[in-house]
């Protein structure tokens, strides 16, 4: 059956770097969670059934998978529990603000296959059509050889692109203003990355500390180049827990306040098809 056309789905990822210290074990900045929950609840109120939240792993996810036994094909499983605890924290914070949040276990929707990620997202689509706000995170996902492998939070929006029969916009809120062009000391943000020519952006990424299992900005760029090639309009911007609102995300990105724009990653080949889809 062909799906009816739908307007843009907004996937907001809140980076773990914003609400926790990845070097620690399950510590949170509760005030920061509440600040972003307020903004995401308000966004979902403005666009019911068109918003999804993805939580970064932060001190929950990274701590669960830092030292894995290479002989155990299911060694990543504790990530499922750790990130579910995190999703529940977000769900409660969102519900406290009246948002119809529902935590979703990604491993029940996805599998790694030889061709890429297979997604069976029909139930999530039903939830969105019912006006719910899905809360997702990275997970421990089955691979072709039966082992479990990490699907990091930066890649979760790939599932949204696969299940949503309309345009998808991905906004990663993180602790920097975008991909900085001049290394750690610089402040110039790379405004646009063409997913078919990302070399300059990769050259700007600096090495990650060993305790960061998501490979920091390098991992995010890998994921977003892939997701942009699949058709999404991706953005990496600084998140501010005290910001009044995220409603500007519902307008065309060209009209967002300059200070809130960050780095946009799109695929040139797909730009024409996206122009009239909001």
Ligand X SMILES: Nc1ncnc2c1ncn2[C@@H]1O[C@H](COP(=O)(O)OP(=O)(O)OP(=O)(O)O)[C@@H](O)[C@H]1O
Question: Where on the chain is the footprint of Mg ion (CB under 5 A)?
Answer: 214
Quick check: 216 binds ligand X (CB under 6 A)? yes
Structure tokens at 56: 């970064």
Rounded CA-CA distance 169/13 in Å is: 11
| Residue placing its CB nearer to ligand X in the complex, 204 or 228 | 204
| Residue placing its CB nearer to ligand X in the complex, 35 or 57 | 57
Q: What is the DSSP letter of 40?
A: H
Using CB distances below 5 to 8 A depending on partner kind, what does residue 43 bind out of Mg ion, ligand X, none?
A: none
Which among 45, 49, 46, 57 is positioned nearest to 20, based on CA atoms? 57
User: Rounded to a whole number, what is the distance in angstroms from the first to the last CA of the chain?
Assistant: 23
Name which position in 175, 191, 196, 251 contacts ligand X (CB under 6 A): 175
DSSP SS3 for 189: strand
CB of 25 to Mg ion, least distance (A): 17
Q: What are phi and psi of 125, to 5 degrees?
A: -60, -40
In this structure, is the dihedral angle defined by the CA atoms of residues 225, 231, 235 and 239, taken in order, positive or negative?
A: negative
Q: Which stretch binds ligand X (CB under 6 A): 39-47, 75-83, 122-130, 169-177?
A: 169-177
Rounded CA-CA distance 191/189 in Å is: 6
CB of 144 to Mg ion, least distance (A): 26
| Residue placing its CB nearer to Mg ion in the complex, 152 or 167 | 152
Rounded CA-CA distance 265/227 in Å is: 9
Taking CB under 6 A as the criterion, which residues in 217-276 touch ligand X?
217, 220
Using CB distances below 5 to 8 A depending on partner kind, what does residue 217 bind out of Mg ion, ligand X, none?
A: ligand X
Quick check: 76 binds ligand X (CB under 6 A)? no
Name which position in 39, 76, 80, 214 contacts ligand X (CB under 6 A): 214
CB of 213 to ligand X, least distance (A): 8
| Residue placing its CB nearer to ligand X in the complex, 38 or 220 | 220
| Residue placing its CB nearer to ligand X in the complex, 17 or 266 | 17
C-alpha torsion 196→260→242→94, nearest 10: -50
| Residue placing its CB nearer to ligand X in the complex, 57 or 100 | 57
| Residue placing its CB nearer to ligand X in the complex, 46 or 181 | 181
Name which position in 10, 11, 22, 127 contacts ligand X (CB under 6 A): 22
Q: Which stretch binds ligand X (CB under 6 A): 92-100, 155-163, 173-181, 270-278?
A: 173-181
Structure tokens at 69: 């036994």
SS (H, E, C) 83-149: HHHHHHHHHHHHHHCCCCEEECCHHHCEEEECCEEEECCHHHHHHHHCCCEEEEECEEEECCCCCEE
> Under the rule (CB under 6 A), what is the footprint of ligand X?
15-17, 22, 56-58, 153, 174-176, 179-180, 204-206, 212, 214, 216-217, 220
């Amino acid at each position: 059956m062909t799906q009816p056309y739908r307007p843009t789905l907004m996937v907001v990822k809140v980076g773990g770097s914003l609400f926790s210290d990845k070097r620690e074990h399950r510590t949170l900045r509760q005030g920061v969670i509440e600040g972003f929950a307020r903004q995401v609840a308000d966004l979902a109120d403005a666009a019911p059934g068109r918003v999804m939240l993805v939580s970064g792993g932060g001190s929950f996810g990274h701590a669960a998978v830092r030292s894995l036994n290479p002989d155990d094909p299911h060694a990543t499983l504790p990530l499922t529990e750790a990130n579910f605890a995190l999703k529940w924290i977000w769900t409660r914070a969102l519900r406290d603000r009246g948002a119809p949040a529902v935590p979703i276990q990604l491993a029940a929707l996805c599998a790694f296959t030889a061709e890429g990620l297979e997604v069976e997202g029909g139930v999530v689509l039903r939830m969105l059509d019912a006006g719910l706000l899905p809360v997702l995170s990275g997970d421990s996902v089955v691979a072709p050889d039966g082992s479990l492998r990490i699907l990091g939070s930066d890649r979760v929006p790939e599932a949204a692109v696969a299940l949503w029969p309309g345009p998808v916009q991905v906004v990663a809120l993180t602790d920097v203003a975008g991909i900085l062009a001049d290394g750690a000391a610089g402040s110039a943000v790379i405004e646009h990355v063409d997913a078919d020519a990302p070399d300059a952006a990769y050259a700007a990424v600096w090495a990650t500390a060993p305790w960061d299992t998501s490979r920091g900005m390098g991992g995010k760029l890998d994921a977003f180049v892939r997701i942009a090639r699949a058709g999404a309009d991706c953005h990496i911007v600084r998140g501010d827990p005290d910001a009044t609102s995220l409603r500007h995300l519902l307008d065309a990105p060209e009209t967002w306040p300059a200070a809130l724009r960050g780095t946009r990653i799109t695929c040139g080949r797909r730009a024409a098809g996206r122009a009239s889809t909001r």
